[in-house]
Amino acid sequence: MKKTSTRLADGRELLYYDSRDDAVRDAVDQRPLDPIATTSQVRRDPLLGDSVAVASHRQGRTYHPPADECPLCPSRDGRHSEIPAAEYDVAVFENRFPSLAGDAGRCEVVCFTSDHDASFAALTGEQAGLVLEAWTDRTAELAGLPHVRQVFCFENRGAEIGVTLGHPHGQIYAYPFVTPRTALMLRSTAAHLARTGRNLFDDIVARERAEGTRVVLEGEHWVAFVPYAAHWPYEVHLYPKRRVPDLRALDDGARTEFPQIYLELLRRFDRIFGPGEPPTPYISAWHQAPFGDVGDVDGAEGLDRHEFGLHLELFTIRRTSGKLKFLAGSESGMNVFINDVPPEAAAARLREVASE
């Protein structure tokens, strides 16, 4: 992998990740852009104890542009985009409309391919491996920023999810705090360790592999399963069999096998609802340990960050053909999920639609 760093016309950082060591990235952003001005701030809710990012400048962000005006496509034929090069493998740049900025964090866009009409599932194994390397590199670099506590790599796919740009891409959020979901995991991990002397993530993986009814796919280094208490109609968790706290710690075997496992999962997701159905909308989310001392999280005192288990959660909001799972009163008002699809049935369906 070759990494090239440059700057866009307004000063934002742009990084190219190339599979070829001889790739040359010298194109210059020709757009007359003013320096970015953001109003992002983080406010803490005193009642719930969580944090809310307020970013009013995002109201003016690009919204469903036509394909020939896509800001994530390469710059070609006299049209200038966010990426000055005429082609690219993987490109990462600072978001022009960030939810988090400055001391409040950082937001980046990850373009998986220059092909506007592709999807992550359509990538080759080599391309998917390059995206994994980009995620890992960004995690390592953002971890070095003094105000960053946690790095979140994710992909929103589909208009139903709220995606406003059709080009295959994901995002990276670098938070200045430990997110509420991660804090819950840390508290559960600390309590389980105190009660049993064992690691919670290891026990979850061991249980799913032993029972087998919810296992969707298993390789030498990775296992994918529908969790026992899945929140979403079709939800899969992907774990490396050797527990590690973040992407930086994956070994060569896990890195080599990841594209094969992950691409197969995504392709199965697109076949869940049968032939002729539109692509399945989904969220794909990497869960990594926060940086520094996680013992400062209430309920996780004394816990080491290496007790956290890196994993990816992949889920769709479509519950059946033509119908979405809405977060209505119980889910939105009380955070109590009601799942219409038994996890065992979801796992069975995801095994049925395996590639031949």
The Cα–Cα gap between 105 and 172 comes to: 11
Q: What is the 3-state secondary structure (H, E, C) of 63-124?
A: CCCCHHHCCCCECECCECCCECCCCCCEEEEECCCCCCCHHHCEEEEEECCCCCCCCHHHCC
Residues serving a catalytic function are 169
- Of the candidates 314, 309, 313, the one whose C-alpha atom is nearest the C-alpha of residue 242 is 309
The Cα–Cα gap between 88 and 251 comes to: 27
The Cα–Cα gap between 354 and 265 comes to: 8
Place of tokens 């359509």: 122
Q: Enumerate residues 6+ apart whose C-beta is below 8 A from 134.
A: 15, 17, 90, 92, 110
The Cα–Cα gap between 174 and 147 comes to: 9
Q: Give the end-to-end CA distance of the chain in Å, rounded to a whole number.
A: 31
Burial class (CB in 10 A: 0-12, 13-18, 19+), 275: exposed
